[in-house]
Chain A
Amino acid sequence: MEVHAHEVIVVGGGLAGTRALDELALRGVDVGWISKIYPIRSHSGEAQGGINAALGNHPQGHDDSPDRHAYDTAKGGDFLGDQDAIQIMTYQAPKTVREMEHWGVPFSRFPDGSIAQRPFGGAGFPRTCYGADRTGHFLLHACYQKYLTMRDRVHLYDEFYAIGLIIEDKVCHGLIAFNLRNGDLEAFISHAVIFATGGSGRIYGRTTNSYSSTALGVSMPYWAGVPIKDMEFVQFHPTALIGKHILMTEGARGEGAYLLNNDGERFMKRYAPNSMEIAPRDIVARAIETEIREGRGINHEKYVYLDVRHLGKQKIDERLPGIKSICQDFLGIDPVYEPIPIRPAQHYTMGGIDCDATTKTEVEGFYACGECSCVSVHGANRLGGNSLLETLVFGEIAGRNAALAVQGKGKPKDHSLVREALKKKEKELQELYNRGGSENPYKIRDELHDIMDHKVQIFRNKEDLEEALKGIRELEKRFHNIRSISKSRVYNYDKTWTLEIKANLDLAEIITLGALVREESRGGHARTDFPKRDDEKWLKHTIARYTEEGPELSYKPVTITKWQPEERKY
């Protein structure tokens, strides 16, 4: 029974987690850094389009400002975002992006040598800073490289799955992790734990997210009593390559790509006559789905075209090389000569662990940042390019706050509590892995995907959601009867996947329940039976808490500072 002690534990090797390290190491804090996959494999590396900051480098962006950025973010999120937090983020943005540049990110450049920016959906000015269409990759690698310089203070535990938090009387004492290398459970004690475990996209089947973007990082605190916020707000990205649902960045439309239906019509003119293709994602995704539903999909199938041909080979090679090679690798088409078949797919988890702009949660010593958290800056719909920004800004804040909180506390001491938790977890897993039933857990997962893709999707209604909820609870029951899991000790992914599926089921229930109860349409949550936004009743955050009987919902007010809710027109 191995017990590790570090002043602060950071869980997550994506941008949010990696960014937190610097703040901690800088202050001499001894950090344990846990990631279920090696940090550079994290989902953040998949981000393509860019990161928002009102730098004003673009010729049309000289009048841009952090306040304009904040307004666009609040409006894009259909006014569900907390405006105090949004302002913190947008005011930090220029510093954050420049800092990344100083860390080595090879941003694309304007002729004057400044960081290049492109237009993105829902933004009043072109403010999305990019490195070709590999922005996430460049950012993640730069942050990881930064970590290499602080290895003396940061101890990396890669291929460790955090599986349970140790929380007592609303104080967090550490966590339990599963060591993939030898199958052991190991305890980590600390004064503070920062969660940066990313999104939960794999609850859905049709998602742009990595295999590693699962619900476990949010379910775990939920099981331990930490409240979860706004889970019903799920973003569907308008343009995912058909088949594998790999993302075709919004940057393509930012560079001028068209969306075409079967009649060759740029149909966005009927949905967002001013912004056309670069309206916010929720609006574009609904437009595409409507075209498909009304039979105007290409060849009446379930996709439309994203057309970049008119941009020309040179521009495509320079600004969208990743998109081009994905199309070539996975569909065998060259977007220089052929339009790209796309359809919306799940893309981003707006909801997450309930915290505020300090990244603190209800539990002392437990912090959350990045996509797993819900600060909330994105409200009901995230703007493209704001998520990378969020991970870095709040990753930094989490690191700093945790560092300040643990100062002078010294090395955390071993608790009997920890050993008890470890024993309990061991027993729990023993039971989970040896149910000896007849159900294949992966079949259950496939059925969950089916439910979520069809009933808790872009357009929602009461009937679908009720059926979905029933279906999910059914699956939860069937999950009690899963077959026994492989006994292999070393690198047993059967065990970790089984746990992830359990976590996905629980979070799916919260999403669906929240969506069913919220009788309005706002941002990513579109109810065909309640097509209007209802500020009087629903301008509030959904909070879900774990109980034995299932999630318990309550609500929390939204912080409005400068911008009163108005109608979203684009």
Chain B
Amino acid sequence: MAQIGENVVLKILRYDPDLDKEPHYETYEVPVAKGLTVLECLYYILENYDGSLAFRSSCRAAVCGSCGMKINGKFGLACRTLVENLKGTHITVEPLANLPLVKDLVVDLADFYKKYTVVEPYLIPKEIPEGKEFYQSPDDRKNLDGLVECILCGACYAACTMTAWDKKFPGPFAMLAADGKLRDTRDSLGDERLVDLTDEHGIWRCHDEFNCMEACPKHLSPTGAIHHLKRESVKYRFTSPKRKELVDEKPKQLPAVIPEALTARRSFMKSVFWGGAGIVGAGLLFLFSPLFSRQIRGWESGWITVGKAPDVQAGKPFEITYEQRKWERGKLVSYPKRAYLVKDESGKLSAISPTCTHLGCICYWDESIRMFLCPCHGGAFDKAGNVTLGPPPAPLARLEVKIEAGTLYLRGEVA
């Protein structure tokens, strides 16, 4: 810990879009005084060394949410971080993650604010009482504690692995806001608030890493809010018929093919629900049964001709598509499928099915972190298909591969 009278060294991520190709770090020394905060250090640097240092701030009292950033690897508020509470004499300061970097510690928050908007965080009452307030019991008001104090600082958003993986995941803070309105006795929207939150980009993606809670400078629990939303949605209905588009992003790959198994399960879920709430519990068990997503029946077996064998680089999964055929009511129907060809160091070629072994969503290869990521609940797999993160209970399935006369054939596990 830096002592009063000594200097503390700040290592700050610097990036000026006009000058730099890449972000880099620069270090500065700041004299330590009692109660010195990281925000004050930044001001010291701006005022004494480099006026171009960019960072946001306003209240300096941990209530406006301007100064969210990454300090010694943890997301939090610069104004609330006292230098004397940090270990060591060096402090690394970086911008919030999961948001585009604009300059130094300033990120573009447009998406962040947009996602807040999408959950309709405003009160929608049925009718407004004439000349008086809504009456709300102290207990009903107490239910809102922990949901309405969010300062939109973005710390949870930056810390959340889900936001990193799914551009359409609204983020912990937005879920917290949604729950705040859902639980408000004055609001009239009720279950409708859940509709947009329950699709594959919504609450079900959260798999309780608690990163948001750990980061939140206001000690709020977005995870808790998401839990509540999940419980409420099960009561309501599982899937969502409509959802507003969040980010105008073109799908990079194929339109995701919803595996037969998953669609079957969803319609089953509905009938379970509408059949009587009593079976919901059973439905849930069923839902989380990993076995279910892997049962495949009625597919055509044997080698499938994929086409001309591509040139695959060692260690870099290569995406292919092919037609899988299936007998349905006496007819042979084609389904488009995806697989990844993987060549190991010894040159051996294999194929991996991207169907997540958790609940059957289609994973994609993310070259930046070199993993297969599942868009649904945070499942991740390494290049050999082994689980590295999240709820999937088993490695990604493998298919048999053969190349004959330059043509690629696949056989085996299908989904």
Q: What are the residues of chain A within 8 A of B52 when measuring CB–CB?
A: 486-488, 492, 494
Q: Which of B51, B104, B133, B184 contacts A114 (CB 8 A)?
A: B133
Interface residues of A in 309-333 (CB under 8 A from B): 322, 325-326, 329-331
Query: CB distance A115 to B133 under 8 Å?
Result: yes
Q: Give A470-491 interface residues, CB cut-off 8 Å to B.
A: 485-491
Known: A106-B144, A109-B141, A493-B46. A41 touches B58 (CB 8 A): yes
Known: A37-B66, A102-B128, A329-B62. A491 touches B136 (CB 8 A): no
Chain B 73-101: CB-based contact to A (< 8 A → 1; otherwise 0): 00000001010000000000000000000
**Would you give the shortest CB distance from B156 to chain A, in whole angstroms?**
16
Q: Interface size of B by Cβ–Cβ distance < 8 Å?
A: 61
Of all chain B residues, the one with the shortest Cβ separation from A131 is B148
Q: Residues of B at under 8 Å CB distance from A?
A: 16-18, 34-35, 46-48, 50-66, 80, 82, 102-104, 106, 109, 113, 117, 120-123, 125, 128-129, 131-138, 140-141, 144, 148-149, 151-152, 181, 184, 186, 218-219
Asked if residues B128 and A148 are in contact (CB atoms below 8 Å), the reply is no
A148-B64 contact in complex given A134-B149, A210-B58, A211-B57, C-beta closer than 8 Å: no
Contact A109:B136 (CB < 8 A) given known A146-B122, A243-B35, A330-B82: yes
Q: Does A72 contact B (CB under 8 A)?
A: no
Q: A37-B66, A330-B82 are in contact. Are A42 and B58 (CB under 8 A)?
A: yes
User: B121 touching A111 by the CB < 8 A rule?
Assistant: no
CB distance from A108 to the nearest CB of B (A): 7
Q: For the complex, what is the distance from the CA of A325 to the CA of B63, rounded to whole Å?
A: 11
Quote the shortest CB–CB distance from B157 to chain A (angstroms).
Answer: 15
A210 touches B132 (CB 8 A): no
The reply to whether B125 and A102 form a contact with Cβ atoms under 8 Å apart is yes
- Using a CB-CB cutoff of 8 Å, which residues 114-145 of chain A contact chain B? 114-115, 134, 137-138, 141-142, 145
Bound-complex Cα distance A115 to B141 (A): 11
Closest chain-A Cβ to B314's Cβ sits at a distance in Å of: 41
Q: Which residues of A contact B103 (CB under 8 A)?
A: 490-491
Closest 5 CB pairs of A and B: A494-B51, A104-B123, A113-B135, A486-B51, A488-B52
A184 to chain B, nearest CB (A): 13
A212 at the interface (CB under 8 A from B): yes
Whether B64 lies near A109 (C-beta < 8 A) is no
Contact among A46, A146, A485 for B51, CB-based, below 8 A: A485
Q: Using a CB-CB cutoff of 8 Å, which residues 7-49 of chain A contact chain B?
A: 37-38, 40-43, 45-46
Other than the given A37-B66, A485-B51, A494-B51, 6 more pairs (CB < 8 A) read A98-B131, A138-B148, A244-B61, A325-B218, A440-B48, A490-B18
What chain A residues lie within 8 Å of B62 (beta carbons)?
Answer: 325-326, 329
- Alpha-carbon distance A104/B133, docked complex (angstroms): 11
Q: Of the candidates A112, A137, A487, A489, which one forms a contact with B63 in the assembled complex, judged by CB atoms under 8 Å apart?
A: A137
CB-CB under 8 A from B18, the residues of chain A are 488-490
Chain B contacts for A243, CB-based, 8 A: 34-35
- Return the contact of A108 from the options B65, B104, B113, B141 (Cβ within 8 A): B141
A140 CB, nearest partner CB in chain B, Å: 9
In the assembled complex, 8 residue pairs joining A and B whose CB atoms fall closer than 8 Å, in A order, are A45-B151, A101-B134, A114-B133, A330-B80, A331-B35, A440-B47, A490-B17, A491-B102
Residues of A with C-beta under 8 A to B122: 103-104, 142, 145-146, 148-149
Given contacts A145-B122, A243-B34, contact A326 B61 (CB under 8 A): yes
Residues of A within 8 A of B54 (CB): 488, 490-493
Complex CA gap A491/B108 in Å reads: 11
A329 to B37, CA, bound (A): 11
Question: What is A's interface to B at a CB cutoff of 8 Å?
Answer: 37-38, 40-43, 45-46, 97-98, 101-104, 106-115, 134, 137-138, 141-142, 145-146, 148-149, 151, 181, 210-212, 243-244, 246-247, 322, 325-326, 329-331, 440, 442, 485-494, 497
Chain B residues within 8 Å of A149, by CB: 122
Contacts of B148 in A (CB 8 A): 106, 138, 141
Report yes or no: A102 in contact with B60, Cβ–Cβ below 8 A. no
Residue of B54, B55, B131 ringed by the most chain A CB atoms within 10 A = B54
CB pair B80 A98 closer than 8 Å:
no
| Chain B proximity of A91: nearest CB distance (Å) | 14
Interface of B is mostly: loop
When chains A and B are docked, how far (Å) is the Cα of A236 from the Cα of B303?
83
B43 to chain A, nearest CB (A): 8
Number of A-B contacts (CB under 8 A): 163
**Least CB distance, B167 to chain A, in whole angstroms:** 21
Which residue of chain A has the shortest Cβ distance to B129 in the bound complex?
A: A102
A418 to chain B, nearest CB (A): 28
Once A45-B59, A493-B46, A494-B52 are accepted as A-B contacts, the answer to whether A330 and B128 lie under 8 Å apart by CB is no
Specify which chain A residues have a CB less than 8 angstroms from the CB of B117 in the assembled complex: 148, 151
In the assembled complex, which residues on chain A have CB atoms less than 8 Å from the CB atom of B109? Answer: 38
A491 touches B106 (CB 8 A): yes
A212 and B63 CA atoms in complex are apart in Å by 13
Chain A residue at minimal CB-CB distance from B34: A243
A491 to B16, CA, bound (A): 9
Q: Do residues A442 and B47 form an inter-chain contact, with CB atoms below 8 A?
A: yes
When distances are taken between beta carbons in the complex, the residues of chain B under 8 Å from A325 are 62, 218-219
A491 to B128, CA, bound (A): 43
When distances are taken between beta carbons in the complex, the residues of chain B under 8 Å from A322 are 63
Neighbouring B residues of A134 by C-beta, 8 Å: 63, 149
Distance in Å: Cβ of B56 to nearest Cβ of chain A: 7
Contact A102 B134 (CB under 8 A): yes
A490 in contact with B102 given A106-B148, A113-B135 (CB within 8 Å): yes
Q: How far is the CB of A135 from chain B (nearest CB, A)?
A: 12
Q: Complex Cα distance A106/B135, Å?
A: 11
Residues of A within 8 A of B125 (CB): 102
Q: Which of B35, B50, B133 contacts A101 (CB 8 A)?
A: B133
Q: Which of B48, B51, B64 contacts A210 (CB 8 A)?
A: B64
On chain A, the residues within 8 Å of B53 by CB distance are: 493
Asked if B135 and A114 make an inter-chain contact with CB atoms under 8 angstroms apart, the answer reads yes
- A101 surroundings in chain B (CB, below 8 A): 133-134
Residue among B46, B61, B136, B152 having the largest count of chain A Cβ atoms under 10 Å: B61
Closest A residue to B130 by beta carbon equals A98
Write the nearest CB–CB distance from B11 to chain A, whole angstroms.
Answer: 20
Closest to A441 in B: B47
- Name the CB-closest residue of A to B65: A41
State whether A110 touches B186 (Cβ < 8 A). Answer: no
> Chain A residues with Cβ under 8 A from B65's Cβ?
40-41
- The answer for the CA separation of A141 and B129 in the assembled complex, in Å, is 21
CB distance from A18 to the nearest CB of B (A): 13
Checking B47, B48, B104, B138 against A109 with a beta-carbon cut-off of 8 angstroms, the contacting residue is B138
In the complex, chain A residues whose CB is within 8 Å of the CB of B181? 104
A347 nearest CB across to chain B (Å): 13
Given the complex, which residues of B lie within 8 Å of A97, measured CB to CB?
133
How far apart are the CA atoms of A109 and B137 in the complex, in Å?
7
Residues of B within 8 A of A331 (CB): 35
Residues of A near B46 (CB, < 8 A) are: 493-494, 497
- Given A46-B64, A494-B46, A110 and B138 touching (CB < 8 A)? yes
Closest residue of chain B to A147 (Cβ to Cβ) is B122
- The residue of chain A having its C-beta at the shortest distance from the C-beta of B152 within the complex is A40
| Chain B residues, Cβ within 8 Å of A107 | 133, 141
B181 to chain A, nearest CB (A): 8
Residue pair A45, B63 in contact (C-beta under 8 Å): yes
Taking a contact as CB atoms under 8 Å apart, the answer to whether B152 and A98 are in contact is: no
The reply to whether B132 and A148 form a contact with Cβ atoms under 8 Å apart is no
- Residue ID in chain A nearest B52 by CB atoms: A488
B contact residues around A148 at 8 Å (CB): 117, 120-122
CA of A320 to CA of B136, assembled, Å:
20
Query: Which chain A residues lie closer than 8 Å to B17 at the CB level?
Result: 490
Among residues of A, the one whose C-beta sits closest to the C-beta of B50 is: A486
B30 smallest CB distance to A (angstroms)? 14
Point out the residue from B56, B60, B132, B137 that lies within 8 Å of A98, measured CB to CB: B132
Which of A40, A43, A326, A488 is the one whose CB lies under 8 Å from B16?
A488
User: Nearest chain A CB to B141's CB is how many angstroms away?
Assistant: 5
The answer to whether A102 and B141 touch across the interface, beta carbons within 8 angstroms, is no
Complex: A141 Cα to B176 Cα, angstroms: 14
